[in-house]
Amino acid sequence: PDGMDLGDKRRTTGIALKLTVEIGWILSVDDYRIGVGYDIHRLVEGRPLVLGGLSVPFDKGLLGHSDGDVLLHAVTDALLGACHLLDIGDLFPDNDPQYEGIDSRLLLSEVVRKTRDAGFSLHNVDCIVHAEKPKLSEYKRKMAQSIAGLLGLEAERITVKAKTNEGVGPVGTAEAIAATVVALVVKEKKKRKKRGQAPFLPTGIAHSPRKGEEK
Ligand code: MG
């Protein structure tokens, strides 16, 4: 404005800059990341039904190299997706004998550890189990509590919904059960110190820029 000498103008500009930076810092949005997971397994006779880490009474169970827990597999993939950490098939190949018949809770717990090591905290997880049979309404809350325990979160941050497929398709004819999961995570502002472990992401796979992407 008129009447200000150079010193006044510089001071005014300095104050305006400082305010802009401070307001920007206060308003800065947390670094939220979202991930989606999906899985489907075939229902067969002669196997126990395991969903969300729980045994659910039924005359069939889910076929799989592991215990076939389709819900925990979808949760696992949603977390990996949100944290940019490959996928469940990359980490636990279904032709690797060490994962044969494995309890999927162990796989999920291992992935939770990896997300923490990569500097993420888990925010909330929303799940849908697609199953014509058995009726799952009485297990929804227990499955959510089971998942909350595995993730180290309060139960109210996990939702499990159950839907039929209206008699249509492999889920609708009870040949299979599927699960869809969305997970939200927050990148911590200060990365935690690595606990003496090798970096999880192999260098050269996830982070090597393609031509034209170099910054
Ligand atoms: Mg699976």
Distance CA 82, CA 202 (A): 18
Cis omega (within 30 of 0) for bond into 134:
yes
Residue 160 has a pLDDT of 98
Residue 198 has a pLDDT of 43
Distance CA 136, CA 167 (A): 16
Question: What are the structure tokens assigned to 34, written together?
Answer: 């979202």
What distance in angstroms lies between residue 53's CA and the mean position of ligand 1's atoms?
13
What distance in angstroms lies between residue 86's CA and the mean position of ligand 1's atoms?
15
What distance in angstroms lies between residue 44's CA and the mean position of ligand 1's atoms?
14
> How many other CB atoms sit within 10 Å of the CB of residue 161?
14
Regions in the chain scoring below 50 on pLDDT: 196-208, 213-215
Residue 206 has a pLDDT of 41
Which of 214, 113, 126 lies closest to 163, judged by CA? 126
Helix axes 70-82, 104-117, angle to 10 degrees: 10
Q: Are 112 and 152 in contact (CB under 8 A)?
A: yes
Residue 190 has a pLDDT of 66
Residue 6 has a pLDDT of 85
> pLDDT tens across 10-63, in order?
888 888 888 877 776 665 567 999 999 999 999 999 999 999 999 999 999 999
Return the HEC string of the chain: CCCCCHHHHHHHHHHHHHHHHHHHHHHCCCEEEEEEEEEEEEEEECCCEEECCEEECCCEEECCCCCCCHHHHHHHHHHHHHCCCCCHHHHCCCCCHHHCCCCHHHHHHHHHHHHHHCCEEEEEEEEEEECCCCCCHHHHHHHHHHHHHHHCCCHHHEEEEEECCCCCHHHHCCCEEEEEEEEEEEECCCCCCCCCCCCCCCCCCCCCCCCCCCC
What distance in angstroms lies between residue 41's CA and the mean position of ligand 1's atoms?
6
Question: What are the structure tokens assigned to 195, written together?
Answer: 């606990």
Instruction: Say which residue the tokens 């919904």 belong to.
Output: 161
Residue 200 has a pLDDT of 43
Residue 139 has a pLDDT of 97
What distance in angstroms lies between residue 119's CA and the mean position of ligand 1's atoms?
26
What distance in angstroms lies between residue 93's CA and the mean position of ligand 1's atoms?
11
Which residues fall inside 5 Å of ion ligand 1, going by CB? 39, 73
In angstroms and rounded to an integer, the radius of gyration of the C-alpha atoms of the chain is 23
